[in-house]
Amino acid sequence: MFCVFFLERIVFFFLRLSISINAIDLGLSNFIKHQAVQPSQMKKSILLILLAAILLGSWGCGKQKMHDRRNFWVTVQERGTGKAIPNAEIYAFEWVSDGTIGNGRNVRIGIFKTDQNGRVFIEGGDKDISSLRVKTSLDYYDGDYGTLGTTSITQTFLESDPKIIELYPFSWLKLSVDFSIYQGEFDYVSFTKTGLCTGSIAAGALTTDACMTEGNRNMTIAFFGFKDGKQVKTWQNEVYVVGHDTVTHVATYIP
């Protein structure tokens, strides 16, 4: 914002200068005659000064933008609740080229830890930060870069302001089928959900084992009822699973 304001002030100043020059053209003409300076030369000089000022301002803005990649605050919070994640370790990396286009490696330049409010100041010194890696003692994952079960999450440099890293919490879901209400309609019920272990629940079984899945979100689970080896019924249930909790859901459908 400062850069934009600075450039606006420069342009505004020279516009006013141009207007003033036109307003006092007669006086300038007398001055020009005595100094042997052509009006076109004066206009060229003004344009050169204006261009130099804009380039200087742009350089300052670029420098400020560059430093935004070196020293900045980051907030780490839980997706779905906005709850702060304290004591998370933030590994900051810079990209070091090996001299060929597109090739190089990430070099760690520091480790920082979030406070009780989930905030941490990342200080890159004279290095431009290219990516951050977050490690926590709880089970989180990153929808873009992480995998199920990971606690080491890599994100590219955040251009947002304020800079916020949202981590998706894991949860554990148990599924149950009340076969008594189906009056022998099924021998077993199978289920499937991306990110949730696929399996089946046989008649007489109470629940499946807890399966790790995405927390703090609604998910759709597909159920398939089987009788004498044939699929006779298909339905879906919407389930909301709270992060870091174990939730038991009884599969139900409308006959």
What was the pLDDT predicted at 28?
40
Mean pLDDT of 146-172: 71
Q: What is the mean pLDDT of residues 233-250?
A: 91
Q: Which residue has the tokens 């590994």?
A: 91
The CATH code of the domain that includes 193 is 2.60.40.10
Query: pLDDT: is 9 or 142 the higher one?
Result: 142
Q: Which amino acid is at 49?
A: I
Give the tens place of pLDDT for each residue, 188-227. 999 987 666 788 999 988 888 888 888 898 889 999 999 9
Distance CA 173, CA 239 (A): 10
Q: Is the pLDDT of residue 60 over 50?
A: no
Mean pLDDT, residues 82-101: 89
Percent of the chain with pLDDT strictly greater than 90: 27
pLDDT tens digits, one per residue of 93-114:
998 988 888 788 889 999 999 9
Q: Are residues 139 and 186 in the same domain?
A: no
Q: Using the 3D structure, point to which of 38, 68, 98 is the last residue of a domain.
A: 68
- Statement to judge: residues 153 and 226 lie in one domain: no
Number of domains in the chain: 3
Mean pLDDT of the chain: 76
* Residue 248: predicted pLDDT: 92
Are both 92 and 164 inside the same structural domain? yes
Of the three residues 18, 49, 68, the one that is the final residue of a domain is 68
- Residue that finishes a domain, picked among 19, 37, 68: 68
Task: Say if residue 130 is in the same domain as residue 202.
Answer: no
**Do the beta carbons of residue 207 and residue 176 sit within 8 Å?**
yes
User: Residue 77: which domain range?
Assistant: 71-169
**Which pLDDT value is given to residue 208?**
84
Least-confidence region, from 19-23, 161-165, 229-233: 19-23
CATH number, domain at 137? 2.60.40.1120
Distances in Å between the alpha carbon of 216 and those of 104, 153, 154, 163? 38, 18, 21, 22
For residue 186, with 0-12 CB atoms within 10 Å meaning exposed, 13-18 middle and 19 or more buried, which class applies?
Answer: buried
